[in-house]
Structure 1
C-alpha cells in the first residue's frame, strides 16, 4: 500500500525525516491488526517529499504543510473508527517529529481510494478484499487464499 508523506523543508527534524515513513507504515498496519504480519509488512511502501515553504500553500498562503496520503482500495478503511484511528496516529507522528511551530490543523491525512484493477495492472502493491467470510489477497493478478 503506497504511502506518500509530503512536508515543507524544516518541518521535520533530520531524524524525523528518516523516521516518519516507518512510523506511518506501522500505524497503518496497527489500525488493521496487521502488526508484524510477514506478508503485509513488506508490501507497505512509501516515499517522503520535502518541498520549500514557497511551494506549500494553505488557504492560498505560503505556510508549513504536512500531507500524508495512502493509496489504498476502498475496503482498507472499513469503518469510521479505523479511519479515525489512522488519521489520529499519523497526525500525532508529525507532531512528535516536527521542529518549530507547525500547528496540527496544517497536517492533512488522506486515504485515497484507487481502482482495484489499477493495483494489479500497475503492479504497485497488494491489498485485501473481503468476499463473504473469506479473505483474499491479490498481488499482481495472483490470488492467495488466506
Structure 2
C-alpha cells in the first residue's frame, strides 16, 4: 500500500523525513491491527520527497507544507475511528518532525481507494477478497 509524504524543502530535514515515514508506516500497520504481519509489513511502502521552494501551492500561491497521501484497497482506512486515529497520529508525527517549522494547518492528508481487483502483490492483481485471504496468512 503506497504511502507518500511530500514536504517543501526546509520544513523537514532529510533524516526527519525518513524517520517520519517510518513512524507513519508503523502507525498505519498498528491502526489496522497488522503490526508485524509478514505479508502486509513489506507491502506498506513509503515514498518521501522534498519539493523545491515554489513547488507547492495553496490557493494558487506558494506555500510551505507537508502532504500525506495513502493509496489503499477500499477496506483499509474504511472505519471512521481508524481514519480519525491514524490521520491524527500521522499529523502529530509530521508536526513533531518539523520541530516548530510547520504549523498543523499546513499539514494535509488524504486517502485514495483503489478499484477492487487492481491491488497488486507479488505481480498478481488481487481482489479485496484475495488480498484479505493473503493477509490472514501473515
Q: TM-score range by the shorter chain?
A: 0.7 to 0.9
Describe the shift of the 1:107–1:145 C-alpha distance in structure 2 as closer, same or farther (beyond 3 A): closer
Kept in 2: contact 1:10–1:99 (CA 8 A): no
Deviations 1:53-87 (A, max 9, x none): 21111122211111101100111023211111111
Q: With a CA cutoff of 8 Å and minimum separation of 6, indicate the structure with the bigger relative contact order.
A: 2
Tell me how far apart the structure 2 counterparts of residues 76 and 102 of structure 1 sit (CA, whole Å). 28
Corresponding residue for residue 133 of structure 1: none
**Runs of 4+ with deviation above 3 angstroms:** 120-127
Q: Pick the structure with more strand per residue.
A: 1
**Aligned equivalent of 1:94:** 94
Task: Give structure 1 stretches of 5+ with no counterpart.
Answer: 131-135
Query: Structure 2 length as normaliser, TM-score?
Result: 0.85
Q: Which residue of 2 aligns with 1:20?
A: 20
Match of 2:118 in 1: 118
For structure 2, which runs of at least 5 residues remain unmatched after alignment? none
Give RMSD over aligned pairs. Answer: 2.6
Q: What is the TM-score with the length of structure 1 in the denominator? A: 0.81
2-structure distance, mates of 1:4, 1:125: 21
Contact 1:58 1:106 in 2 (8 A): no
Determine the C-alpha separation between the residues in 2 that align with 1:18 and 1:124.
Answer: 29
Q: Do structure 1's residue 144 and structure 2's residue 112 form an aligned pair?
A: no
Alpha-carbon distance between aligned partners in 1 of 2:67 and 2:30, rounded to the nearest angstrom: 20
1:62-73 to structure 2, matched below 5 A, reads 62-73=62-73
Cα distance change, pair 39–144 in 1 and its aligned pair in 2 (3 A): closer
Measure the CA separation in 2 of the matches of 1:91 and 1:124.
Answer: 33
| Within-5 A mapping of 1:48-67 | 48-67=48-67
